Amino acid sequence: MAPEPTALLVEVLVRVASITVFIALGVGLASVAVEFGAVEYIAGFARPLTQPANLPPEVGTAILATTASPTAGYGMLAEYREAGLLDDRATLVAVTMNTFFGFAQHIFTFYAPVLIPILGLKVGLMYVGARALISLAITGTGVAAGALLLSERNVDTTVEADVDEGAAVEADGSGSGRDRRAKFRAAAESTVEKIRDIVPRLLVVYLIVATLVAYYEEIVTALLGSPDALGIAGAVAPITGALGLPSAAIPTIAVFAVDTTNGAIFIAPLIENGTFTARAAVATMLVGGIVSFAVSTFKRSIPFQYGIWGREFGSKVIVVNTVLKVVFIAVALVVLLAPTAI
């Protein structure tokens, strides 16, 4: 039996309010951490990776900059390549090794403060953990590739790359010498901006999804005369059957492909009502991630990578990034979609 509209609205408002509190708290703490440079300490794990990968110590500095600012890190690697410190092969290895450390920044700025509160602790941690393992596997692949494919011929340590590491990080706002009050003020402004951006979408999308879930049969019957007049179940059965996912995965993937936050908002009530198990939800979001990655490649990656590297080498970076991400997401899906997993 479908709930009363008032009860449904109250349920949605309570849910959105609770998520908003956690998002505000998480975003606030994350913004403070970024302003005071706490995120940079993660990059300490990068330095021991350069030696087995046959890369010079300067690459560890670029990885540090990537953790604080991907733009700064990529810019430093571009300078090293331009100066002749790294050849193309060594640069591709370094870019691949950067993957996990670029992801680590998003743990503080997006996954922990925004996505986990929306998805709930269990599913949120499973999804972020899966993405972290995928990124870590790509970084590990970079280290292995460096160990196997690089030698002294790929690195010229006699050149000096004119790169101001401090300025590179500073330019993106992570190494600022501002006083504490200014940093707290900047963190507060960042928090308010993100809340203003997320909460209206959260409320609208959550209300739409909750309404559709609660009154789907009534709406379709009233419009078309039959609860399955659209033939949705038959149309999506072959696809969802092949993936082992519920039919609700199809619209979820479509939304997730357009925007990660909206995708999480869309799937959250479907997790709560039992449409998705935790593993099925994570698998669905990873599939959505593949589609969204294809979309973002044209919208963001191509302009960014071409701007950093130029068209020829930028295309190589995009191909390597794309292949590795798709391969390791596919591996994660095999694990999650095993017959006994879901």
pLDDT at residue 219 greater than cutoff 50: yes
Looking at residues 3-9, what average pLDDT do you find?
75
The pLDDT of residue 324: 94
Report the candidate in 123, 130, 141, 132 with the shortest Cα–Cα distance to residue 287: 130
Sign of torsion, CA 230 235 237 239?
negative
Measure the CA–CA gap between 275 and 253, rounded to whole angstroms. Answer: 14
Task: Check residue 55 and give its pLDDT.
Answer: 92
Residue 342, pLDDT score: 47
Q: What is the per-residue pLDDT for 62?
A: 82
Indicate the pTM of the whole model: 0.74
Mean pLDDT of 208-213: 70
pLDDT at residue 216 above 90?
A: no
- Whole-angstrom distance, CA of residue 339 vs CA of residue 243: 10
Whether the predicted pLDDT of 97 surpasses 90 = yes
pLDDT at 170 > cutoff 70: no
Confidence of residue 136 (pLDDT cuts 50, 70, 90): very high
Q: How far is residue 167's CA from residue 185's CA, in Å, rounded to a whole number? A: 22
Greatest mean pLDDT range, 31-40, 122-131, 212-221? 122-131
The predicted model gives 249-271 an average pLDDT of 83
Alpha carbon 236 to chain centroid, angstroms: 27
Is 40 a residue whose pLDDT tops 80? no
Mean confidence (pLDDT) of the chain: 78
- Higher-pLDDT residue of 56 and 342 is 56
Q: What's the longest Cα–Cα distance across the chain? A: 77
- Please determine, for residue 240, whether its predicted confidence score (pLDDT) is greater than 70: no
pLDDT grade for 91, boundaries at 50, 70 and 90: very high
